[in-house]
Structure 1
Amino acid sequence: MATVKKKAAKKAVKKSAKKATKKTAAKKSAAAKAKPGKYVYVWGDGKADGDGSMKALLGGKGANLAEMSNIGVPVPAGFTITTEVCTYYYDNGKKYPKTLDAQIEENIAKVEKVMGKKFGDLENPLLLSVRSGARESMPGMMDTILNLGINDEVVEALATKTGNAKFAWDSYRRFLQMYGSVVMEVEAEAGEHHDPYEVILDEAKEKAGVKDDSGLSADDLREVVEKFKALIKDRSGKNFPEDPRAQLKGAVNAVFNSWNNDRAIVYRQKYGIPAAWGTAVNVQAMVFGNTGKTSGTGVAFTRDPATGENVFYGEYLIDAQGEDVVAGVRTPKPIAKMAKDLPKSYKELQVIRKKLEKHFRDVQDVEFTIEEGKLWMLQTRNGKRTGFAAVNIALDMVKERLIKKEEAILRIPADDLSHLLAPIFDSKAEKAATKVGSGLPAGPGAASGKIYFSAEESVAAAAKGESVILVRQATSPEDLRGMIAAEGILTTEGGASSHAALVARQMGKVCVCGAHNMSIDYDKKTLTGNGVTLNEGDELSLNGFVGSVYAGEIQSSPSQVIQGLLENKAAAKRSDTYKKFMELMSWTDKLRKLGIRTNSDTPEQVEQAIKFGAEGIGLTRAEHMFFEGNRIDSVREMILADDDEGRAKALKKIKVFMKKDFKGIFKALDGRPATIRLLDPPLHEFIGTMTDEQKQDLSEKIGMSASDITKRIHSLHEENPMLGHRGCRLGISYPAITATQVEAILEAAAEVQAKGTKVLPEIMVPLVSYARELEIQKQVIDETADEVRKKLGLKKSQLKYTVGTMIEIPRAAITADEVAEHAEFFSFGTNDLTQTGLGLSRDDSSSFLPAYQDAEVLSNNPFASLDQGGVGKLVEMGVKGGRSVKPKLKLGICGEHGGDPDSVKFFHRAGLNYVSCSPFRIPVARLAAAQAALEEKGLARGEVS
């Protein structure tokens, strides 16, 4: 039996090795296809120059079109102009490589041969679509032109060839609208609230007595075309170009130019997409969903991108083109109804759905067109999904054996776990609320905020601290800034695959779209539904789980995960969301190497953090104990004292409440380590903002006159308190302040230990620049500890502690080898290290950081995600210097960056022992740490065999 098992094992190893070799060979083959000087890659008829591994060169869309063609999925022929051309275009004053035109012509001929049509021909014309395609999906951020190649002659040829004049003129008016807007830049002018093309269309529909575009006749559409051309000529001063090749050149220029339009730049900044990547341009043969009742178009996901449920999810329209579905111009039908309308195509779609998901091993977002009963796939890409869906899909695919646990962990964006922790509406409050409408639940969650009807107003309101609900008939890429600023998004048009739904899911925004029973009046700035009219600035609430819309603000409740973890509610623990969250967290803990601690200042926060998975405290800020009740008066008394006697009197009061708090924290930790930072904040935080009333009140409590208090405050004034008399500087000036804190820590530790709970205090000295500063403070700490032991009758082994420092000043990082002589641990305080390392004020830089990000001086906010190239190098210097003296020196990080996924991965690579973050960021840090461990092994999403 053992021999059989051995043989089976050997066979499995060989099979795995063979599979890995094939995979490597495929990658090498793909790399070999990227030839110098080759700027255009063709696909079609079951073969392609490239494949799915070439996203950097072909962009995501082009690479996946090539891949679909290679695996036998029906894809209209086309070609990709590479991202290298985009880079060349911007590096050379918007000029192209000399050989590009010839390569385009060569590949047009190949497309013509596959499709059996000719570009610009008057007998059997080939029309083209021109689309962008960055390596990372940027839905709707760049430009698209459909039906390119049509003109006054071609439209007649198309009508004759198909015998469908209505279809031909409909395609022409669509092309004019897109080309006129995108290439010739004829759009709504200042003061116009509506798209001028849509105004012309609305007039035509009203004249014809029809509800939507599909009801217009060929003659109606002919008239629309003439008016579109007149509009373009009037506003641009130029005639619409009749030459198809001139049209193609203009469209390609427009797509490359759109890489740097405002919405694309905003999107890249939000998702950290480098401008240097550029976009590809995909030129593809048009297939038509607008030829009649046996044609149609749709957008679908192989699973529900909002919840993760394993159902075919999407929408379609009969007699339409793809933009109609996405733009929300017409109300699409759920994909399930296609089984009745177009049964043959629906069955084919189901087969392709399974084939694509199995091949790409991920949820796919597909676009398709049916032309006279023939199904064509126009695009596939990994589907954007909510945090809920990301977790559900990843874990379900492990159970289905499509992927392994490691890949499941890699493909869930760590930040998306915060979606599972977001509040939901209180059920009683929701039942009592006034329901004013309902739509499709496009983005799960609960959001309340004030109504605003434009992106500009939403951004301005959010900047003032308001919670915003952006309300639009339908969103477009121009609304991106407002969508980022909003807590929730409501549209009255569109469906589950509309722009609003797609972008909201990616951003994790609460979204209800297609609330067709509600209406917006932009001029009056009102929203009406169910007989209730709400004005701009009124409160509105959205339930993105079910699609309900309510007037007013609704009280919220914790998520099911929070209810299960923190409130121990049995019903919540039975929920699928809670179970999958816990399962995922158990996987991460088996893989990660980084420890995860918490930044917590109270016993309650510590208890929360431990339930979230914290393994100790990375930062307790002593000064945060002083803001409860009247405690601040004792601190102010200490600061204002002008002699040792007065200071000692105040310190005695301070010690009492500090000791009480430390006992509570140590009990909550139940044997886990606790890093406690000694008093650090600028003194002005305690006394600089006192009102006359507060001074008078304090005067009566401490026996110092209000005028003397004012004089003392003035004498302690600092021009730059952030770099002033604080941290170790305060302790060196007044050793009693350090000694009092140490007494409180160690006496609390001794009392908790006496009751059977292990205590591991780590005393951290802040704001060290020189090794001598730490040496002096360590001497005070050690002497105080000896006095406490003597007072309590304890041996050294009975009351242990360690002493370390926070590395938050560049000099400390640079001279870490010297500082380490006196330290048993370092904790990198990356908040202040960022301020001092970059010379940026965290509080004052917000006024120019957006301009810096627009100019690409900064790729992101360095206070949110670590500046790895600058501040990160200081961290690396600190690690190297510290461990050169003490190889086993314990290293951690306790700045805000401890909960940022990209920063966590950097700290893993830098060799830290742990990261510390706020309690609610702990799950994010746990997942990011597991991903870092997998990436260290050379694994990335899609590479786990």
Structure 2
Amino acid sequence: NAQGEDVVAGIRTPQPINRRQKASPQEVSLEEAMPEVYKELEHYCKVLERHFRDMQDVEFTIQRGKLFILQTRSGKRTGLAALRIAVDMVTEGLIDEEEALMRIEPEQLNQLLRPVFDPEEKEKARKEGRVVAKGLPAGPGATSGHVVFFPSEVEERTAKGEEVILVRVETSPEDIRGMSAAQGILTARGGMTSHAALVARQMGKVCVVGCEALRIDYKNRHLEVNGRLIREGDYISIDGSTGEVILGKLKTRPSEVLEVLVEKRLKPEESQSYQIYHKLMQWADRKRKLRVRVNADRPEQASLALALGAEGIGLCRTEHMFFEGERIYAMREMIIAQDPESRREALDKLLPMQREDFKAIFRVMRDLPVTIRTLDPPLHEFLPHSDDEIAQVAERMGISFDELKAKVESLREANPMLGHRGCRLGIVYPEITRMQARAIFEAACEVKLEEGIEVHPEIMIPLVGHVEELRDQRRIVDEVAKEVFARYGVEVPYKVGTMIEIPRGALTADEIAQQAEFFSFGTNDLTQTTYGISRDDVGKFLRAYVEKGIWDFDPFVKLDTKGVGQLMMLAVEKGREVRADLKVGICGEHGGEPSSVKFCHSIGLDYVSCSPLRIPIAKLAAAQAAIEENGKK
């Protein structure tokens, strides 16, 4: 007879307990061989489960036809099983909704919302040595595709129906269209809040960043990784939940929740996974106090977010809109303009494009608040970088190579993240802020007049560290609002606020609140400026810091409550001393990380904002925070 340790060691293969577990008709289950003993075992398993109010891992033996229960403990389970067990136990009356919510790790919801690799296929790849590298898991999910190195070619190949993974040393805003078309994104550099990571999460793309084992050769169109050569066109698979890079194509399983809510391929009653998700979200919505918004700058992202229960847009990044189609050239005209008049002429070309962008988003969000950030990145990001690209763009724009090259060089900064960006752009070039404000208000008025939608735009000025910066930009916004409302003969309610993303902004929040109707913590930059580290370069030393115990975690993934969090707490306190009704939220990537969401609840924020597929995770974390708070009272 086999002993328990033989089964654990893999020496013996156990027989099935009941008929449902049989892998073949030849197998004999305990239910068939000893039906009376099986009934007794089933009875005691139910007794133990009810007593401990949890799924049990029961060890037993049978001697001369008599059942002996040897020991029991809470059973190990996958994330999906944990969700199902929690819901089932509420249905059976063993636990209540609050306890069910508290038993679930919010990140386990990812297993309901993302595609995953077939476990057997992935294990086979691991045994065959095809897991060749590991980076940072920046965009959860799993996907396979042909390796392509250039964003423009990604668009061409996906248009032909190919599955493509964009592989870059790092990405920049001009890669946005290729990133949108790709199945997944893999970079050699960057951290969890690098450009690739931020954009991928907002788009819902599978993404692995900071995979430093990659040696990418753009010229010869191949990459080397740990002695393996991968050529353009070869299939690779990336797991955005673990950071693994795998040779070849692996099967994936789709998210049934998204098939019900977004793709409409399944009916709710056809998916047990969706029914579990729906119940959990209903319970979480009843318990939480924090509102949950989305970071989105495209209508399709906003639609996905609404399907997942978003209560507004907490961050609409306007810069991504400038890379669409022909508008990048109008943007470049504005940048190389030598005087305000030429700049205004270029901006006049961008105005109708921005207006239509905002109208599309307002139509989707209807009467929910939409927070729109004015232009934030430094202008050099919109210009070409290599000499070949400069030559092509110069020819297209009808200017000399030397003139464009000189402009590119003049905009180069030693540390662009601390340079001429954010509100500083609008102060030096007020016509930029004026154009964006006009596009927002004209879009809001037209949607109201044409479709009867009462839009609630919130204009957010970035990188404010001094109240006079906000006063300057607010004056322009208010002037434009007054002029547009008079011209259209209609008004829309709006707010003007700021991102608190540099320490001085938090330290002088009482002064800034005199001009701001809301604060939104941009914790990506606030972490960067508090620590004095570049979020794009942190991957070079992050692993060493964690291994040596200097940091317990990546502060760009999980909020540093002892440092960055103290600045947030101070800003909330000082801001509301001046303006009691000050609305405060968070729009950095921490807005979808469970422990960070709980901290936001504890310091009295009104909402968190995160990428679309993090919304359910943020909701569950917010519900847990409210339950924990009530338990302490």
Instruction: Provide the TM-score with structure 2 as the length reference.
Output: 0.77
1:271-286 paired onto structure 2 within 5 Å = none
Q: Secondary structure at the match of 1:619?
A: strand
Q: 1:849 to 1:586 in 2, by over 3 A?
A: same
Q: 1:540 to 1:927 in 2, by over 3 A?
A: closer
Take 1:662 and 1:368, find their aligned partners in 2: how far apart are those partners? Answer: 64
Give the match for residue 365 of structure 2: 669
Take 1:359 and 1:603, find their aligned partners in 2: how far apart are those partners? Answer: 50
The unaligned stretches of length 5 or more in structure 2 are 19-28, 145-183, 185-233, 240-246
Q: 1:842 to 1:334 in 2, by over 3 A?
A: farther
Take 1:541 and 1:646, find their aligned partners in 2: how far apart are those partners? Answer: 46
1:369-448 paired onto structure 2 within 5 Å = 380-423=72-115
Identity over aligned pairs, percent = 51
Take 1:379 and 1:846, find their aligned partners in 2: how far apart are those partners? Answer: 46
Take 1:349 and 1:748, find their aligned partners in 2: how far apart are those partners? Answer: 67
Give the match for residue 16 of structure 2: 334
Q: Secondary structure at the match of 2:314?
A: strand
Query: What amino acid sits opposite 2:101 in the alignment?
Result: I
On the 8 A contact 2:142/2:238 being kept in 1, the answer is no
Give the match for residue 838 of structure 1: 531
On the 8 A contact 1:448/1:540 being kept in 2, the answer is no
1:601 aligns with 2:297: yes
Instruction: Choose from 717, 723, 736 the match for 2:412.
Output: 717
On the 8 A contact 1:666/1:749 being kept in 2, the answer is yes
Q: State the Cα distance separating 1:371 from its structure 2 match.
A: 7.6
Take 2:135 and 2:14, find their aligned partners in 1: how far apart are those partners? Answer: 33
Give the match for residue 513 of structure 1: none
Take 1:714 and 1:449, find their aligned partners in 2: how far apart are those partners? Answer: 50
Query: What amino acid sits opposite 1:330 in the alignment?
Result: R
1:873-884 paired onto structure 2 within 5 Å = 873-884=566-577
Instruction: Choose from 131, 136, 161 the match for 1:458.
Output: 131
1:657 aligns with 2:385: no
Q: State the Cα distance separating 1:459 from its structure 2 match.
A: 6.1
Give the match for residue 276 of structure 2: 580
Q: Deviations over 1:306-356 (max 9, x none)?
A: xxxxxxxxxxxx2x242x333424323233334566778756643442232
Q: 1:630 to 1:410 in 2, by over 3 A?
A: same
Take 2:31 and 2:254, find their aligned partners in 1: how far apart are those partners? Answer: 40
1:871 aligns with 2:564: yes
Q: State the Cα distance separating 1:405 from its structure 2 match.
A: 1.3
Give the match for residue 849 of structure 1: 542
Q: Deviations over 1:817-861 (max 9, x none)?
A: 111111000001111111111222221111221222222222222
Give the match for residue 789 of structure 1: 485
On the 8 A contact 1:663/1:752 being kept in 2, the answer is yes
Q: Deviations over 1:877-936 (max 9, x none)?
A: 111111111121101111111111111111111111111111111111111111111111
Aligned residue-pair number: 525
Take 2:80 and 2:137, find their aligned partners in 1: how far apart are those partners? Answer: 30
Q: 1:541 to 1:900 in 2, by over 3 A?
A: closer
Q: State the Cα distance separating 1:453 from its structure 2 match.
A: 3.2
The unaligned stretches of length 5 or more in structure 1 are 1-292, 294-317, 426-443, 470-486, 488-536, 543-550, 941-945
Q: 1:642 to 1:326 in 2, by over 3 A?
A: farther
Instruction: Choose from 903, 911, 914 the match for 2:604.
Output: 911
Q: 1:728 to 1:558 in 2, by over 3 A?
A: same
Take 2:590 and 2:136, find their aligned partners in 1: how far apart are those partners? Answer: 23
Give the match for residue 207 of structure 2: none
Q: State the Cα distance separating 1:555 from its structure 2 match.
A: 6.8
Q: State the Cα distance separating 1:788 from its structure 2 match.
A: 1.8
On the 8 A contact 2:330/2:347 being kept in 1, the answer is yes
Take 2:297 and 2:340, find their aligned partners in 1: how far apart are those partners? Answer: 28
Take 2:537 and 2:315, find their aligned partners in 1: how far apart are those partners? Answer: 25
Give the match for residue 448 of structure 2: 753
On the 8 A contact 2:261/2:307 being kept in 1, the answer is yes
**C-alpha RMSD of matched pairs (Å):** 3.1
Indicate the structure (1 or 2) with the bigger Cα radius of gyration. 1
Q: 1:867 to 1:745 in 2, by over 3 A?
A: same
Give the match for residue 684 of structure 1: 380
Give the match for residue 398 of structure 2: 703
On the 8 A contact 2:294/2:313 being kept in 1, the answer is yes
Q: 1:825 to 1:467 in 2, by over 3 A?
A: closer
On the 8 A contact 2:142/2:252 being kept in 1, the answer is no
Take 2:614 and 2:479, find their aligned partners in 1: how far apart are those partners? Answer: 38
Give the match for residue 257 of structure 2: 561
Q: State the Cα distance separating 1:683 from its structure 2 match.
A: 2.6
Instruction: Choose from 819, 827, 842 the match for 2:520.
Output: 827
On the 8 A contact 2:287/2:623 being kept in 1, the answer is yes
Q: Deviations over 1:103-125 (max 9, x none)?
A: xxxxxxxxxxxxxxxxxxxxxxx
Q: Deviations over 1:147-202 (max 9, x none)?
A: xxxxxxxxxxxxxxxxxxxxxxxxxxxxxxxxxxxxxxxxxxxxxxxxxxxxxxxx
Query: What amino acid sits opposite 2:382 in the alignment?
Result: F
1:812 aligns with 2:505: yes
Take 1:560 and 1:694, find their aligned partners in 2: how far apart are those partners? Answer: 43
1:301-316 paired onto structure 2 within 5 Å = none
Take 1:846 and 1:374, find their aligned partners in 2: how far apart are those partners? Answer: 59
Q: Secondary structure at the match of 1:937?
A: helix
1:631 aligns with 2:327: yes
On the 8 A contact 1:762/1:804 being kept in 2, the answer is yes
Give the match for residue 888 of structure 1: 581
Q: State the Cα distance separating 1:552 from its structure 2 match.
A: 6.3
Instruction: Provide the TM-score with structure 1 as the length reference.
Output: 0.52
Take 2:84 and 2:453, find their aligned partners in 1: how far apart are those partners? Answer: 39
Bigger RCO of structures 1 and 2 (CA < 8 A, at least 6 apart): 2
Give the match for residue 555 of structure 2: 862
On the 8 A contact 1:731/1:738 being kept in 2, the answer is yes
On the 8 A contact 2:114/2:142 being kept in 1, the answer is no
